[in-house]
Chain A
Amino acid sequence: MAASDAKEFSMHDGKLPDGGVKVLVPCGALGAGVRADEVETGLAAGAHAIALDAGSTDSGPAYLGTGKSKYSRAAVKRDLSILMDARDRARIPLLIGSCGTSGCDEAVDWTLEIVQEVAQELGQRPRVAVLYSEQDKAVLKAKNAAGLVRALAPLGPLDDATVDACSHVVALLGPEPYVSVLQEGAEIVLGGRTTDTAVLAAVPLMLGAAAGPAWHGAKVAECGGQCTVNPTNPGILFSVDAEGFDIAPLSPDNRCEPRTVAAHMLYENSDPFHLVEPGGVLDVTGSEYQALDARRVRVTGSRWAPAPYTMKLEGAAGGPFQTLMMVGIEDRAVMADLDGFLARMDEALRERVRRTMGEMAGDFDISLRAYGWNAVSGQTPPPGTAAPLEVGLLFVATAETQALATQIAKVCNPYFFHFPVRRDIELPSYAFPFSPAEIERGQVFEFKLNHVVETTDPFELVRVRWAGVNVQDKEVRDGQAA
């Protein structure tokens, strides 16, 4: 069905489309593997937009710290090829938030370059708008000095040194910059760091859907198939109207149930009833979940309470470096006295580093973690716990440089390999799985910010760039900053 004419028109007439505003969410994260058959199903259902995010802090601080993507270039390109082909045929916009995992400028540009490559391969010339939300440290410090940066628990007030320590600082975009560039004719929007919900709520909000259901539907859909009975099918379609939203998986053999949809507000949220977003708070205290049929759920009663505009800040800083070793141990005498063995080995390793490296080792740490015993909790098991059959013993050396961490590992290697459970026995040899035994893990990164910044409007901390696909487009479109 050629529904695209009606959809393009509806973006500008301010009238809510019949049946609501339909958003196709192909998967929980760009690069995780969209399914072409599910995307086709969503287009056939009359989707008004394809929207998804490409990032999060979920996988830890290294991605923001380094600016590198969690997903491989090939995986992102594969997903983009399917989505850009679908977008072009259906003539609907494609919105991608938190590009390149962290959504810092480098990660957004990395994504843009892939989009341009795919466009050339597909023979397309889409109008691409890029929304940058990495923050200038001087601007941020000035905001902080003016009392416009507020700490969120458990962190305290922000200081300049913390801002300076971060390799990248990003502010989470709301939906308004997406709406703005779509109204100016963008066909693909590549966003810097964005709240998971904002990128999905943007088109329903733009087309006049009710705010509470738009945000709530976006929240439920943001992890793709997570809100269904079978999350391995990633695609979702949600449809927002004036009173509520409907949601269903794209795979015909998957289904949403009131329970799976309601439970999604619990997932990765510290508060199951309220979600603070740029410019307001979603409140689902009064939401009602109703099965429309075996696969679709309708949700009504979700409320949106506007609040002064804030953007959440994320920042990560590089710290020390780590080098790893691992051995497997089955030795029965070691298994019978594992805690004593580990305590003695820990002390022997530290002493060996102090004796052989002295001051040069600097502020180092050695961490022994016995997988199969207590590595995950780090706590002493209750008395009487049965000895394990074997453990994988992980050695983590932390030091100020990679070279020092590796030197510590090398110095410890003979003791780690041969440390006896008693002094009076022949030296044992434990099971190294690798040669060389040590693995340089790289730098440790740490999240430093858990703060929000007040802005005069949704655009103050956002930079917009129009990026064409070939030279001719670039000349026309580059430099149209907001």
Chain B
Amino acid sequence: MVKLHEVCHQVRSKNAGPFWVTVDLFFDGPENYARYKDSPGLSAAAVAKVFGVDASLVKRFAVDSLSVVKLSYPRKAPQGGTVERDMHSGQQYVRLLDTPLG
């Protein structure tokens, strides 16, 4: 089964305000995008499980014009608190790279 990083030319994550993280999946071309954007591994429920958050709060957007799937989820703790390990959430995307798609 193909992995996410094999069909995207860029995957990135970033804080979107102090309470949210947003992940952008830039697929390699419209064909890969069309083929894999609705994979179960990229569903709100699957992503919620990876990051340990409430699936009902995960937002998912398909941006056809850019062949991008955007996933946004609330942080488990607000940015910068006592247990912070990734202030800007810039490394959170790594945990999605090996997601099997199909």
B85 pairs with A376, CB closer than 8 A: yes
**Which one, B29-37, B39-47, B67-75, is touching chain A?**
B67-75
Which residue in B78, B82, B86, B95 is a CB contact (below 8 Å) of A447? B78
Contact A272/B79 with A57-B17, A61-B18, A378-B85 known, Cβ cut-off 8 Å: no
B22 pairs with A269, CB closer than 8 A: yes
Chain A residues with Cβ below 8 Å from B17 are 57, 268, 270, 450
The count of residues in chain A whose C-beta lies closer than 8 Å to any C-beta of chain B is 40
Chain A residues with Cβ below 8 Å from B65 are 262
Contact A268/B82 with A154-B57, A273-B61 known, Cβ cut-off 8 Å: no
CB interface residues, A 440-471, toward B, < 8 Å: 444-448, 450
A270 pairs with B22, CB closer than 8 A: yes
- A369, closest chain B residue (CB): B85
Which residue in A57, A154, A269 is a CB contact (below 8 Å) of B74? A154
- Return the CB mask of B50-70 against A: 1 if under 8 Å, else 0: 000010010101010110101
Q: How far is the CA of A61 from the CA of B17 in the complex (A)?
A: 11
Q: How far is the CA of A444 from the CA of B80 in the complex (A)?
A: 8
Which residue in A268, A369, A376, A444 is a CB contact (below 8 Å) of B81? A444
B79 pairs with A271, CB closer than 8 A: no
A268 pairs with B22, CB closer than 8 A: yes
Q: How far is the CA of A340 from the CA of B36 in the complex (A)?
A: 39
Chain A residues with Cβ below 8 Å from B63 are 266, 272-273
| A391 nearest CB across to chain B (Å) | 15
- B52, closest chain A residue (CB): A379
Contact A266/B85 with A57-B79, A154-B19 known, Cβ cut-off 8 Å: no
Which residue in B15, B61, B91 is a CB contact (below 8 Å) of A376? B91
Chain A residues with Cβ below 8 Å from B95 are 377, 379
| A452 nearest CB across to chain B (Å) | 12
- Return the CB mask of A237-248 against B: 1 if under 8 Å, else 0: 000000000000
A270 pairs with B20, CB closer than 8 A: yes
B16 pairs with A270, CB closer than 8 A: yes
Contact A447/B79 with A153-B74, A268-B15 known, Cβ cut-off 8 Å: yes
A319 pairs with B81, CB closer than 8 A: yes
Q: How far is the CA of A3 from the CA of B66 in the complex (A)?
A: 39
Chain B residues with Cβ below 8 Å from A319 are 81-82
B85 pairs with A269, CB closer than 8 A: no
B16 pairs with A263, CB closer than 8 A: no
CB interface residues, A 405-461, toward B, < 8 Å: 444-448, 450
Which residue in A60, A271, A448 is a CB contact (below 8 Å) of B59? A271
- For chain B, give the interface size range: 35 or more
Main secondary structure of the interface of A (DSSP, over half): loop
Contact A268/B79 with A58-B88, A262-B65, A378-B85 known, Cβ cut-off 8 Å: no
Tell whether A323 is near chain B: CB-to-CB under 8 Å: no
| B81 nearest CB across to chain A (Å) | 5
Chain A residues with Cβ below 8 Å from B15 are 58, 268
Tell whether A47 is near chain B: CB-to-CB under 8 Å: no
Tell whether B14 is near chain A: CB-to-CB under 8 Å: yes
Chain A residues with Cβ below 8 Å from B85 are 369, 375-378
Q: How far is the CA of A223 from the CA of B35 in the complex (A)?
A: 33
Chain B residues with Cβ below 8 Å from A61 are 18, 78-81
Q: How far is the CA of A272 from the CA of B83 in the complex (A)?
A: 29
Chain A residues with Cβ below 8 Å from B80 are 60-62, 444-447
A263 pairs with B66, CB closer than 8 A: yes
Tell whether B24 is near chain A: CB-to-CB under 8 Å: yes
B66 pairs with A320, CB closer than 8 A: no
Q: How far is the CA of A268 from the CA of B24 in the complex (A)?
A: 10
Tell whether A267 is near chain B: CB-to-CB under 8 Å: yes
Tell whether B87 is near chain A: CB-to-CB under 8 Å: yes
Interface residues of A (CB under 8 A from B): 57-62, 152-155, 259, 262-263, 266-273, 314, 319-320, 322, 365, 367, 369, 375-379, 398, 444-448, 450
Interface residues of B (CB under 8 A from A): 14-20, 22, 24, 54, 57, 59, 61, 63, 65-66, 68, 70, 72, 74-75, 78-88, 91, 94-95
CB-CB nearest 5 A-B residue pairs = A60-B80, A270-B72, A154-B74, A447-B18, A270-B16
